[in-house]
Structure 1
Amino acid sequence: MIIFAHLLNDRSGSPRVLKSVIEDLGFDEQKRLYIGSDGDGILAAVEVDTRKFWYRRTPNRLLTMLTFCASQVHLLWSLLCSPGIPRDAVVYVNTLLPFGAGLFGRLTNRPVIYHIHEMSLSPPALQRFLVAIARYTATRLIYVSDAHRTLLPIAPEKAVTVYNSIDVALAEPSRDHVYRHRTGGVFTVLMLSYARSYKGISELLSLARHFSNRKDIRFNLVVSDGGSLEQVEPSNLTLLPPTDNPEHQYAQASLVLNLSRPDLCVETFGLTLLEAMAFGIPVIAPPVGGPAELVTDGKEGLLIDSRNGAALAAAVGQLADDEARCLEMSAAARARAAQFGREDFRRGILSVIEAVRG
Structure 2
Amino acid sequence: MKHLICFHLFNDYSGSPKILKMVLENFLKQHYIVDLVSSKHGVLDELLCYENLRKHSYPYRFFKNPIVMMLYYCAVQLYMFVFAFKWLFCRDIVFYINTLLPVGPALAGRIMGKRVVYHYHENAFVKGRSYKILAMAMQKLAHEIICVSCYQASFLKQKSNLSVVPNALPQEFVDRLRFIPKAAFMRKRVLMLGSLKLYKSPLEFVELAKRLPQFDFELVVNDTQENINCFVKEYKINMGKNLTIYPRQNDVTSFYNRASLVLNLTNKKQAIETFGLTALEAMSAGLPVIVPTKGGIAEMVKDGVNGYKIDVQELDKIENRIKYILLDKDIYVHLSNNAKKESQKFSIIQMLTEIERLIFPL
Alignment TM-score, normalising by the size of structure 1: 0.92
How far off is 1:181 after superposition? 4.9
Equivalent residues in 2 for 1:64-213, closer than 5 Å: 64-82=69-87, 86-120=90-124, 124-150=128-154, 152-174=155-177, 176-182=178-184, 185-212=186-213
Structure 1 residue matching 2:354: 3-state secondary structure: helix
Alignment-derived partner of residue 242 in structure 2: 236
Equivalent residues in 2 for 1:184-333, closer than 5 Å: 185-212=186-213, 214=214, 217-226=215-224, 227-228=227-228, 229-230=231-232, 231=235, 232=237, 233-333=239-339
Q: Tell me if the contact between 1:198 and 1:260 (Cα under 8 Å) persists in the aligned partners.
A: yes
Q: 2:208 is aligned with what amino acid?
A: L
Partner Cα separation in structure 1 for residue 208 and residue 59 of structure 2 = 41
Render the CA deviation track for 1:282-324: whole Å, top value 9, x for unaligned: 1111111011111111111111111101100000011110111
Q: Tell me if the contact between 2:127 and 2:270 (Cα under 8 Å) persists in the aligned partners.
A: no
How far off is 1:123 after superposition? 7.1
Render the CA deviation track for 1:157-197: whole Å, top value 9, x for unaligned: 121001000134312113x53234557x5400000000111
Structure 2 residue matching 1:169: 3-state secondary structure: helix
Deviates more, 1:103-112 or 1:55-64: 55-64
How far off is 1:207 after superposition? 0.9
- Is residue 17 of structure 2 the alignment partner of residue 15 of structure 1? yes
Equivalent residues in 2 for 1:36-47, closer than 5 Å: 36-37=39-40, 40-47=41-48
Segments of structure 2 that go 5 or more residues without pairing to the other structure are: none
Q: Tell me if the contact between 1:181 and 1:326 (Cα under 8 Å) persists in the aligned partners.
A: no
How far off is 1:24 after superposition? 1.7
Q: Tell me if the contact between 1:131 and 1:154 (Cα under 8 Å) persists in the aligned partners.
A: no
Partner Cα separation in structure 1 for residue 60 and residue 255 of structure 2 = 32
Structure 2 residue matching 1:65: 3-state secondary structure: helix
Q: Tell me if the contact between 2:8 and 2:102 (Cα under 8 Å) persists in the aligned partners.
A: yes
How far off is 1:353 after superposition? 1.5
RMSD: 1.8
Structure 1 residue matching 2:220: 3-state secondary structure: strand
Partner Cα separation in structure 2 for residue 20 and residue 326 of structure 1 = 32
Q: 2:219 is aligned with what amino acid?
A: L
Q: 2:108 is aligned with what amino acid?
A: F
Q: 1:262 is aligned with what amino acid?
A: K
Segments of structure 1 that go 5 or more residues without pairing to the other structure are: none
Partner Cα separation in structure 2 for residue 23 and residue 170 of structure 1 = 14
How many residue pairs are counted as aligned between the two chains?
A: 347
Structure 2 residue matching 1:24: 3-state secondary structure: helix
Q: 1:80 to 1:154 in 2, by over 3 A?
A: farther
How far off is 1:70 after superposition? 0.7
How far off is 1:218 after superposition? 0.5
Q: 2:205 is aligned with what amino acid?
A: L
Deviates more, 1:194-203 or 1:40-49: 40-49
Which of residues 34, 38, 42 is equivalent to 1:35?
38
Partner Cα separation in structure 1 for residue 85 and residue 360 of structure 2 = 24
Structure 1 residue matching 2:124: 3-state secondary structure: coil
Q: 1:239 is aligned with what amino acid?
A: I
Alignment-derived partner of residue 358 in structure 2: 352
Partner Cα separation in structure 2 for residue 253 and residue 122 of structure 1 = 31
How far off is 1:240 after superposition? 1.4
Q: 1:187 is aligned with what amino acid?
A: K
How far off is 1:235 after superposition? 2.9
How far off is 1:122 after superposition? 9.1
Q: 1:188 is aligned with what amino acid?
A: R
Q: 1:250 to 1:180 in 2, by over 3 A?
A: farther
Q: Percent identity?
A: 31
Structure 2 residue matching 1:157: 3-state secondary structure: coil
Alignment TM-score, normalising by the size of structure 2: 0.91
